[in-house]
């Protein structure tokens, strides 16, 4: 049986809460005096549906329903949680709490999203103050787990217990407030005030301050708060940013692009990847995870595509290669910090087809082979098509040169079949 | 021709700079009056070698040499960069700069790591003040790209230009200081002061403050400084933390573990993965990247291993399965936000061998198949071995039940061979 949340006020915060509750399987009732709110809620929900479920490696419950209510009473009647997300005006909030309490169940938690008022203040004119707590979250509410949970002595223990249960159930991390201040608000204000001072005194531009946070300080705080971060965690975060080409990752990509590429001899297997195994590529068996072999082989394929002219510009124009089949043989283990290289032999390169054979080495030690069949496609129709002439010609030239090389061990082999 | 850096002072900061320069291909000369410094430098270098090269997706230059020098003159003579990493005592630094300038080249940049003294102060008693600048970095220097570059009007433009070139060449992001203060130090001090106040006034414990940073605020600052972060960037960072089971990722793993697992019917292919395609799993072709198919199949294999009793506890005891061969057929595309599921059929489960066949679906649409041969190994010897009895028995039971299922389409097929 799905539970029902009533969201009162559907601005950015309300829309964020609505989206998180709904994606996490709750039915949602929304009330906002402004009909325009519906558009925002729809957009935020779409964002949340793209982002939030992917944070889990398991299936979430089926998404709940969502209705817009015409009145507060309709929204809160029988609801299992009430989240107030109105503008930060105490009298407004108090009036709405009275209205809510005329219609809601006595046992339901009424949680205010306020970042400024104390629980005492929020409970001020309430019929049943013991129902009212504060749960303050950061945007985007549907992604960031932090929620500051504030209660006082008027709230019986079961209210706080229920609040924790509900918040954890929708994937949040309640941090209990010890005093009257929201810690996140205080810290954010302190940092912003210092940033404003530095700008006002000509010590830094706003973009300098963002750079200092993105390239260093923020990484540390995100990894481990005020404690010293672990290297593996920083590496994983920096690599995630790199894959998104965002924040500090932009610099890492720029650095890579500035490194010299070796000269090309197409009569030999082509060196397509030379890299170090990153700290975040190893798994519980203490060696490079199987999926990372394919990631490295995929990078080798990307580099080979670039060499034949199927580069970012060409892909943007609507052509690309899709992998249709992959055969990997894992021959030896490799560990974080090892320098690996991949050599790529073109087995076939005619018409729509491109068949590649990658060999991965550490030094002279053969670690794995990857055989890949790719098909050229039109990105508009998502169907097979022939590449443009200059790509066909360059691919043909390499395929012809490589046809003089011996057929590699393991080509055309099925799993478990020893030739 | 490798360039040479002289590092004066080999504490944590000096060791960090030495490690970054060396891993990035520079020869390193170190001077520290304390012989004990060598141990620290060795440990930091080892950390850096594990972490730093993996931030690049291309090969770094060959690592440089490193020598410990008995005197400052020996360290700095002919050096191409001099990095001063002494304790924050101005008179000490000034004395050492004089000594350095008796022996170093006139054109070499002398960079102070100081986080507190202005460039004017550092240049104070120097023979050639124009050579001296400040470059302040955060620990770990060998991972975080931030470096604050401070110069004054005494420094000719070529000194600043050279400094930027060298710092970018070793993978750092110089942020030019506009005034006399280090922005990172000011922001860090402001945040720490506010944290201290909150703790002193009973508003929060130190660990609450770390939680607020790790679960929310720090994520935002790391992603985009003071600007609003993009969802895809937050998702990628949160997922990186999850893979490390660190920071906010601990919560995400705890949430997953709390979700109910479906009941098991071993007469049918076993549902091993049900999940949503995360935002960071798509690539330039606009669909799920090939390596992520294998990641999902790898997760399916992990889940199957768990089901037969090869769980974390067993792996810790020294037994596991290694994948030796993989055959993937990509049959259809899938996009971020799609709910996928994998069903796993056991084709073989006897002795050391386990052969699995995974089918990945979105709804009824078959997206891909993965055929995998795994071998049970001893994690001590890294050689093939038989699993313990209870695993062998459970695996045998499932293999026998699955032998009644039809052999899936595509089993035992080689690439490009249409049966």
Prior bond of B12 cis (ω within 30°)? no
Q: What is the predicted pLDDT for the residue at A417?
A: 54
Fold of A260-402: Thiol Ester Dehydrase; Chain A (3.10.129)
Enter the tokens of residue A203.
């010590």
Compare CB distances from A226 to B173, B195, B238 and report the shortest one's residue.
B195
Nearest chain B alpha carbon to A371 = B415
Predicted confidence band of residue B418 (pLDDT cuts 50, 70, 90): very low
Dihedral angle sign, alpha carbons of residues B374, B377, B383, B385: negative
Going by their DSSP bridges, the two strands A132-137 and A146-150 should be labelled as antiparallel
| Sequence ranges of the domains in chain B | 4-183, 184-256, 264-402
Q: Mean pLDDT across the stretch B32-48?
A: 91
ipTM score assigned to the predicted complex: 0.92
Question: Please, which residues have CB within 8 angstroms of residue B260's CB and are 6 or more apart in sequence?
Answer: none
What mean pLDDT is reported for chain B? 95
Query: Helix, strand, or coil here: B162?
Result: helix
Percent of chain B with pLDDT over 70: 99
What sign has the CA pseudo-torsion A135, A139, A141, A145?
Answer: negative
The predicted structure's pLDDT at residue B272: 95
Give me the mean pLDDT over the B298-327 stretch: 95
| CATH code for the part of the protein at B264-402 | 3.10.129.10
- What is the pTM for the complete model shown? 0.92
Which CATH code, of 3.40.50.2300, 3.40.50.720, 3.90.740.10, 1.10.10.10, is assigned to A4-182?
3.40.50.720
Q: Using DSSP, state whether A265 is helix, strand or coil.
A: coil
With a CB-CB cutoff of 8 Å, which residues 32-91 of chain B face chain A?
Answer: 47, 49-51, 53-60
Average pLDDT, chain A: 95
Q: How far is CA A369 from the centre of its chain?
A: 31
Looking at the DSSP assignment, which residues form a beta bridge with residue A132?
Answer: A110
* Interface contact B332, partner A, CB < 8 A: no
Our CA-based measurement puts residue B175 at a distance from the nearest CA of chain A, in whole angstroms, of: 7
**Residues of B whose CB is below 8 A from A59:** 259, 274-276, 339, 341
Distance from the A30 Cα atom to the nearest Cα atom in chain B, whole angstroms? 23
Residue B417 pLDDT level (bands cut at 50, 70, 90): low
The fold adopted by the segment(s) B4-183 is Rossmann fold (3.40.50)
* Angle subtended by helix axes B37-51 and B12-23, to nearest 10: 40
More confident residue, B38 or B388: B388
pLDDT value of position B409 = 86
* Predicted confidence band of residue B419 (pLDDT cuts 50, 70, 90): very low
Could you read off the pLDDT of B262-301 as tens digits, one per residue? Answer: 788 999 999 999 999 999 999 888 899 999 999 999 999 9
For A287-336, the pLDDT digits (tens) are: 999 999 999 999 999 999 999 999 999 999 999 999 999 999 999 999 99
Spatial separation of the C-alpha atoms in residues A79 and A104, rounded to whole Å: 7
Contacts of A337 in chain B (CB under 8 A): 49-50, 53-54
Helix (H) or strand (E) holding A92: helix A90-103
The ranges of chain A with pLDDT < 50 are 418-419
Q: A4-182 and A260-402 share one CATH topology?
A: no
Q: What pLDDT shows up at residue A415?
A: 75
pLDDT of residue B86: 97
| Strand B81-84 versus strand B66-69 pairing type | unpaired
Query: In this structure, how many other beta carbons lie within 10 angstroms of the beta carbon of residue B201?
Result: 13
CB interface of A with B, residues 128-187, below 8 Å:
137-140, 143-146, 148, 168, 171, 173, 175-181, 183-184, 186-187
Distances (CA, A) of B193 to A116, A345, A393, B189, B200: 21, 59, 65, 6, 10
- Helices and strands (DSSP H and E) totals, chain A: 14, 14
């Amino acid at each position: 049986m799905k539970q029902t949340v009533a969201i009162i006020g559907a601005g950015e915060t309300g829309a964020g809460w609505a989206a998180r509750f709904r994606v996490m399987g709750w039915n949602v009732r929304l009330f906002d005096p402004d009909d325009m709110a519906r558009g925002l809620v729809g957009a935020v929900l779409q964002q949340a549906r793209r982002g939030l479920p992917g944070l889990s490696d398991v299936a979430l419950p089926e998404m709940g329903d969502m209705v817009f209510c015409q009145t507060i009473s309709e929204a809160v009647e029988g609801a299992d949680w009430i989240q107030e997300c109105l503008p930060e005006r105490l009298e407004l909030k108090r009036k709405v709490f009275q209205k809510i309490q005329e219609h809601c169940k006595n046992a339901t938690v009424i949680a205010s999203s306020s970042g400024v008022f104390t629980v005492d203040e929020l409970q001020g004119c309430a019929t049943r103050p013991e129902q009212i707590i504060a749960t303050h979250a950061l945007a985007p509410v549907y992604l960031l787990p932090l929620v500051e949970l504030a209660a006082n002595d008027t709230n019986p223990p079961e209210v706080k217990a229920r609040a924790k249960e509900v918040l954890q159930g929708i994937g949040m991390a309640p941090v209990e407030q010890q005093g009257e201040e929201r810690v996140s608000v205080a810290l954010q204000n302190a940092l912003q005030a210092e940033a404003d001072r530095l700008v006002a005194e000509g010590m830094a531009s706003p973009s300098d301050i963002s750079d200092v946070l993105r390239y260093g300080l923020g990484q540390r705080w995100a990894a481990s708060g005020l404690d010293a971060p672990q290297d593996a965690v920083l590496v994983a975060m920096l690599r995630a940013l790199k894959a998104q080409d965002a924040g500090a990752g932009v610099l890492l990509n720029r650095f890579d692009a500035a490194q010299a590429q070796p000269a090309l001899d197409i009569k030999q297997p082509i060196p397509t990847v030379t890299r170090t195994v990153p700290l975040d590529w190893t798994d519980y068996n203490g060696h490079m995870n199987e999926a990372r072999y394919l990631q490295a082989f995929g990078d080798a394929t990307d580099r080979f595509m670039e060499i034949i002219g199927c580069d970012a510009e060409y892909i943007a124009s609507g052509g690309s290669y899709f992998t249709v089949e992959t055969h990997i043989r894992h021959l030896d283990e490799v560990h974080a910090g090892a320098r690996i290289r991949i050599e790529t032999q073109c087995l076939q390169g005619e018409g729509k087809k491109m068949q590649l054979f990658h060999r991965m080495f550490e030094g002279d030690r053969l670690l794995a082979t990857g055989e890949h069949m790719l098909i050229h496609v039109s990105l508009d129709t998502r169907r097979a098509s022939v590449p443009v002439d200059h790509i066909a010609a360059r691919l043909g030239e390499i395929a012809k040169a490589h046809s003089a090389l011996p057929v590699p061990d393991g080509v055309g082999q099925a799993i478990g079949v020893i030739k």
